[in-house]
Amino acid sequence: MTGPGPDDAGLLRAHVAGDPQAFGDLFRRHRDRLWAVALRTLGDPEEAADALQDAMLNAHRAAGRFRGDAAVTTWLHRIVVNACLDRIRRRQAHPTVPLPDGNRSEDGRSGHEPVAPAADPDTALVVRHALAQLPPEQRIAIVLVDLQGYSVAEAAAIFEVAEGTVKSRCARGRARLAVLLGHLHTGDEAPEPTARGNRGSGGIVSSGSEAGGGQ
Amino acid sequence: MSAVDWDLLADHLGGALAGTPEGDRVARLVATDPAWAEAAAQLTAAWDAVAADLRTVGPAPPLPEQVGTRLDAALRAETAAAPGGRAAAPAGPPLPRSGDDRPPGHPDAGSGRPGPSRSGPGQSGPGRPRPARRRRRAGWIGALAGLAGVAAFVALGPVEPSGTDGSQGGAAAPARPEAQLSDAGAVPDAAGAPAPVRALPVMTASDLDYQPDSHWLGAPALVAPPLAQRSEGSPPEQAFSVADRPDPPLDRLWDDPAACLAAVQVSHVPQPITVTQMDFARFEGEPAVIVWLTTGDGGGWVQVVGPDCGKPGAGADERYRQALD
């Protein structure tokens, strides 16, 4: 047999029909991308591995209910996103940053966590830490669209929401990141020398900023 | 001049309000109100900076090999238990919901609020049956096969008042559950005699930390496979080890669960119960036994009891219960 082989939907059908290899083949096709989503969303590799396994087993069992109303990869991403959201909500460990207009986050606190130790020059680490401060839906929207390069339409299909909702989550998430990373000062956040001093007033974080100075 | 609503401004600049009256209103503000115009310029510049920052994050590292191995093992175990995704349990539940099911177009204010079924203990959705045999780590079936589940299976013996079965194993099998029921201050049903606990449970000591909204409450996380299957192709090394027996304070119940089971039965009077599995683990961080049972009327329950379950005066020391199916 030299054909291209079964497509995703074909593998899923085969799995539901009882083929013991099909689901594994399907999942292996996509698991690197799914892993990336889980890792960027949860931050911690152990958590990401747990979430990915939960999602995989969920998908394995739920395959019979897949209606074909979305692409199989969309469906798989949806399950992974839900597994990640489950974990985040179960933890609910991090106080969230106040919205830029001064409204409080849902836990009623206005704590403004320092983004990173002052001496840490690793922008990527700082940015990932800031990402972890976002509310879950905003975080995942930014992971999907800005980090993983999915279109707004694809993200909307994964979340099962309107595209406008995805745009809003991305826009507000980026605004929160801007505050956390010191690019935006709305006048409402608490004075935070770590977040603001390292980044300069409204300056762009780059290798030329004072944050990259000696440790 | 009106105060800048940064969320609204972000929505507008991000295209989420296109074609809506709200979008028109914000556009007018940006065009006519200096504060809004300035804010829009700042936000746009800030987004450029954030975009540059996000680019530094770079692609995620690839799936680590050990994670891949673990996933493969978990899938093998799952396939053995439920080929084609069809487990022994009744038809599965909806997928875990993320709380994303808001009305379309509703901009998320970033509340991150869980969906209604996860709003707290005891409210995890009475009508949400879960798939059977959720497992947190790979390879636990293999561990169980040689360990606790089977050993306890043999040792317990049926919990029948008259001992009709005859296979009373060790101290674990109670001779007179009625006596224990009355010791525990049981309230008999209208007929006067509390129904006995029937059948014997699989006992596991997973030490998993169950939460009120945990998937694993829907069905036991660990299930000892039928004896016939255990001999062939056991999964390889486990990422977790399953204990032979739980640590104190749950070891008392492990060694003699009869009084506790009787107390659990009392809590379901007048329905006779069949306890199918007991997982000696944790609930919300505290040592607890998770008990899965069915009632005579066909209902299913998962019930969480504490270490004092079955002690005189303590009743079942119940911490939580949830109807299944």
The 10s digit of each residue's pLDDT in B267-314 is 888 888 888 888 888 898 899 999 988 888 888 889 999 999 988 888
CATH number at residue A58: 1.10.1740.10
Are B16 and A62 in contact (CB < 8 Å)? Answer: no
Q: Give B-chain residues touching A45 at CB under 8 angstroms.
A: 64, 67
Shared-domain flag, residues B143 and B50: no
Residue B239 pLDDT > 90: no
How many Å lie between the alpha carbon of A50 and the closest alpha carbon of chain B?
7
Nearest residue of B to residue A19 by CA position? B84
In a domain, A172, yes or no: yes
Q: Would residue B87 count as lying in a domain?
A: no
How much is the pTM?
0.51
- The reply to whether B130 and B35 lie within a common domain is no
B19 touching chain A per CB within 8 A: no
B115 lies in some domain: no
Q: Do A146 and A192 sit in the same domain of this protein?
A: yes
Query: Does residue A207 belong to any structural domain of this protein?
Result: no
pLDDT of residue A144: 97
Considering the domain architecture, whether residues A87 and A129 belong to the same structural domain is answered as no
To the nearest whole Å, the CA of B70 is away from the closest chain A CA by: 8
Is residue A31 located within the same domain as residue A86?
yes
What pLDDT, on a 0 to 100 scale, did the predictor assign at position A93? 58
Q: Are residues A16 and A70 in the same domain?
A: yes
pLDDT at site B83: 67
Residue at A102 is within a domain: no
Domain that holds residue B133: 125-324
On whether both A71 and A129 belong to a single domain, the answer is no
Question: Residue B108 has what pLDDT?
Answer: 45
- To the nearest 10 degrees (0 to 180), the angle between helices B34-57 and B6-13 is 70
**Yes or no, beta carbons of A183 and B6 under 8 Å apart:** no
pLDDT at A22: 93
Q: A129 and A196 share a domain?
A: yes
Q: Are A172 and B111 in contact (CB under 8 A)?
A: no
ipTM tops 0.85: no
Q: How far is A3 from chain B (nearest CA, A)?
A: 24
Measured distance CA(B153)–CA(B172) in Å, rounded: 11
Q: Which residues of B touch A39 (CB under 8 A)?
A: 60-61
Taking the Cβ of residue A45 and every Cβ of chain B, the question of whether any pair is shorter than 8 Å is answered with yes
Q: Which of A23, A58, A174 sits opposite B47 (nearest CB)?
A: A174
Q: Which of A134, A168, A206 best probes binding to B when mutated, by most B CB atoms within 10 angstroms?
A: A168
CA distance B158 to B216: 26
Q: Which residues of A touch B119 (CB under 8 A)?
A: none
Residue B86 falls inside a structural domain: no
Tally of domains within chain A: 2
Q: pLDDT per residue over B29-83, tens digit each?
A: 999 999 999 999 999 999 999 999 999 998 899 999 999 999 999 999 888 877 6
pLDDT at position B308: 92
- Whether A79 and A134 map to the same domain: the answer is no
Q: Indicate whether B151 and B267 sit together in one domain.
A: yes
CB proximity B102 to A under 8 Å: yes
Range of the domain at A56: 9-91
Q: What residue type is B62 in one-letter code?
A: P
Q: Is residue A1 part of a domain?
A: no
A83 or B128, higher pLDDT: A83
Residue B290 lies in a domain: yes
Report if residue A130 sits inside a domain.
yes
What CATH code is carried by the domain that includes residue A165? Answer: 1.10.10.10
Within a domain: residue B317? yes
pLDDT reported for residue B54: 94
Q: Are residues A34 and A83 in the same domain?
A: yes
Q: Please tell me which of the candidates B72, B87, B95 has its beta carbon nearest to residue A82.
A: B95
pLDDT for B268: 87
A120–B contact, CB cutoff 8 A: no
Q: Tell me whether residue A187 is in a domain.
A: yes
Domain shared by A128 and A185, yes or no: yes
Domain count, chain B: 2
Assign B162 a pLDDT band (cuts: 50, 70, 90): very low
Task: Kindly state whether residues B129 and B219 are assigned to the same domain.
Answer: yes
A56 - beta bridge partners? Answer: none
* B141 in the same domain as B47: no
* Residues B53 and B191 both lie in one domain: no
Contact flag A45-B14 (C-beta cutoff 8 Å): no
B140 in the same domain as B31: no
Shared domain check, B286 and B159: yes
Query: Nearest-CA distance from B6 to chain A in Å?
Result: 5
In a domain, A103, yes or no: no
| Residues in chain A within 8 Å Cβ distance of B138 | 53
Q: Is A155 on the interface with B (CB under 8 A)?
A: no
Is pLDDT above 90 for B25? yes
Q: Does residue B138 share a domain with residue B26?
A: no
Do residues A128 and A183 both lie within one domain? yes
Least confident of A49-63, B53-67, B167-181: B167-181
Residue A152 is assigned to a structural domain of this protein: yes
Contact state of B84 with A63 under an 8 Å Cβ cutoff: yes
B36 and B141 in a single domain? The answer is: no
CB contact under 8 A, A168 and B6: no
| pLDDT at A126 (0 to 100) | 92
Domain-located, residue B80:
no
Is residue B234 situated within a structural domain? yes
pLDDT digits (tens, 9 = 90+) for A136-167: 999 999 999 999 999 999 999 999 999 999 99
pLDDT classification of B105: cutoffs 50, 70, 90: very low
> Which residues of chain B neighbour A142 with C-beta distances below 8 Å?
54
My answer on whether B216 and B297 are in the same domain is yes
Nearest to B50 among A105, A136, A174 (CB): A174
Among A91, A113, A132, the domain-final residue is: A91
Q: pLDDT of B184-224, one tens digit each?
A: 333 444 444 444 444 457 788 877 888 887 766 766 545 44
Test the A interface: residue of B12, B48, B57 with most A CBs within 10 Å: B57
Decide if B113 is inside a domain: no
Q: Does B21 touch chain A (CB under 8 A)?
A: no
In this structure, of A104-108, B102-106, B166-170, B179-183, the range with the lowest mean pLDDT score is: B179-183
Domain identity same for B221 and B313: yes
- B87 contacts chain A (CB < 8 A): yes
